Structure 1
Amino acid sequence: MNEKLKDYLTDTLPLQADWVVKLEEMALAENVPIMDKAGINLVMQLIRISRPHRILEIGTAIGYSALRMLEAAPDASIVTIEKDEHRYAQAMEHIRELNKEQQIEVIYGDALDKLQQLSENGSTFDLLFIDAAKGQYQRFFELAEPMLNPNGMIISDNVLFRGFVANPEDVPKRYTKMVEKIRSYNQMLMSHPDFTTSIIPIGDGVAVSYKKS
């Protein structure tokens, strides 16, 4: 996205609560890849519209997006998975500070394993938010999608990955395989018979996939 346009969108957003600013500043200082401000604003608006009761997040990091999603749906319950022990501990701390541990369950472990366990336990969700290892997006989708209720939604972040998906000839060698996987994931979403998908060029690219009834 054009930087001036990105700055404009960010500048139009309302002032945020102190805890939001604190987490955003922490993420910047510690180089934690949280969703950008305009992107999370879009996610929150989608949540306000769709009113999910149960949300599954893949990739907790410091708890920022889980807490923002709960802000948009105060009566919802959220299950979120994080495999980095340090980030898991930080997320737990932030969730406890805001007294949200009754609504946000943080699972420590590899999402590929934990998603299988959730499925075996009969868990179901109204919204899935995928924001973890980009090279695993398709596998995350395959494991989580059966748990998504009809008329549910899957939101996938970073699907344009710095614009490289549109310019594969310009991709640095270290990102070649990842970009190939993201392009494949995007194509799968757009052609999936059970979903209708729009890819929105906000932040690093957000795919919004609606599961048909």
Structure 2
Amino acid sequence: MMEEQATNYLINHLPESKEWVKELEKQATLDKIPIMDPIGINFLMQLIRLNKPKRILEIGAAIGYSALRMNEAYPDAEIVTIERDDVRYEQAVENISKQNKQDSIRVIHGDALDELTTLQANHETFNCVFIDAAKGQYKRFFELSVPLLANNGFIISDNVLFRGYVMEENFEHPRYKKMVEKIKAYNEWLANHPSFITTILPIGDGVAISYRK
């Protein structure tokens, strides 16, 4: 009960969203596309405001919502976002074009595992990486992102608490069991990574912030 009250309290104290943001949130709801919840996205935006990363890499564009919100937080950032799904890629491109942000946000259509390798080959670097794609591939996404990370860069991973399921010792849901096991393993791996200091926060669906030592 207290957790629900706290959530409602925090939502009531968030900045007022612009109309285009509300429209994107409606689109996500209608199409059943998962996007960051209001508290989570505002936390992400605050991180971007505070750190002012010159270049941001997002793994998992979906409809372009997070990329556009990060741009809103720090318009000077150059954002590259990767999306594998054909329909979502087209939606992301359209939504970004509607806001005239195509010069600031580049959407790459392809599998992130392949595209990250290509970005490495092109010697691209980023100050911030945001991982929000296939949960079972988080560890590989992270590993492939490390060579792309500039000095003093950081990596953000979303959904690391996955509805609270990772905290259940004997989680047996047939649909999510393997995924939850992989996220648990990922969190343990992050916590013990020799080159990064990671903090996991119970914001939204769980956000991990990993800072290179």
The TM-score normalised by the length of structure 2 is 0.97
Shift in Å, 1:70? 0.7
Question: Which deviates more from structure 2 when the two are superposed, residues 162-171 or residues 197-206?
Answer: 162-171
Structure 2 segments unaligned to the other structure (5+ residues)? none
Deviations 1:142-190 (A, max 9, x none): 1111110121111100000011111031341221111111011111111
Deviations 1:118-147 (A, max 9, x none): 111101000000000000000100111111
**Residues 168 and 179 in structure 1, CA contact (< 8 A), matched pair in contact too:** no
Deviations 1:40-68 (A, max 9, x none): 10111111111100000000000000000
The 5-angstrom pairing of residues 152-163 of structure 1 reads 152-163=153-164
Distance 1:193 1:14, change over 3 A: same
Please give the secondary structure, in 2, of the residue aligned with 1:138: helix
Structure 1 segments unaligned to the other structure (5+ residues)? none
Question: Which deviates more from structure 2 when the two are superposed, residues 155-164 or residues 2-11?
Answer: 2-11
Provide the rounded CA distance (Å) in 2 between the counterparts of 1:121 and 1:70: 24
Residue 132 of structure 1 corresponds to 133
Distance 1:171 1:72, change over 3 A: farther
How many pairs were matched up? 212
Residue 167 of structure 1 corresponds to 168
**Residues 155 and 208 in structure 1, CA contact (< 8 A), matched pair in contact too:** yes
The TM-score normalised by the length of structure 1 is 0.97
Provide the rounded CA distance (Å) in 1 between the counterparts of 2:10 and 2:154: 24
Supply the AA of the counterpart residue of 1:52.
P
What is the Cα-based RMSD across aligned positions, in Å? 1.1
Provide the rounded CA distance (Å) in 2 between the counterparts of 1:27 and 1:40: 14
Provide the rounded CA distance (Å) in 2 between the counterparts of 1:167 and 1:132: 23
Shift in Å, 1:4? 2.5
Deviations 1:10-43 (A, max 9, x none): 1110211100011011111111100111001011
Deviations 1:73-92 (A, max 9, x none): 11010000000110000110
Provide the rounded CA distance (Å) in 2 between the counterparts of 1:65 and 1:89: 15
Provide the rounded CA distance (Å) in 2 between the counterparts of 1:117 and 1:139: 15
Please give the secondary structure, in 2, of the residue aligned with 1:168: coil
Provide the rounded CA distance (Å) in 2 between the counterparts of 1:174 and 1:15: 36
Shift in Å, 1:8? 1.8
Provide the rounded CA distance (Å) in 1 between the counterparts of 2:144 and 2:107: 18
Where in structure 1 do 4 or more consecutive aligned residues deviate above 4 Å? none
The 5-angstrom pairing of residues 81-160 of structure 1 reads 81-160=82-161
- Sequence identity of aligned pairs in percent? 59
Please give the secondary structure, in 2, of the residue aligned with 1:192: coil
Residue 73 of structure 2 corresponds to 72
**Residues 164 and 171 in structure 1, CA contact (< 8 A), matched pair in contact too:** no
Residue 18 of structure 2 corresponds to 17
Please give the secondary structure, in 1, of the residue aligned with 2:176: helix
Provide the rounded CA distance (Å) in 2 between the counterparts of 1:194 and 1:40: 27
Provide the rounded CA distance (Å) in 1 between the counterparts of 2:185 and 2:14: 33
Residue 36 of structure 2 corresponds to 35
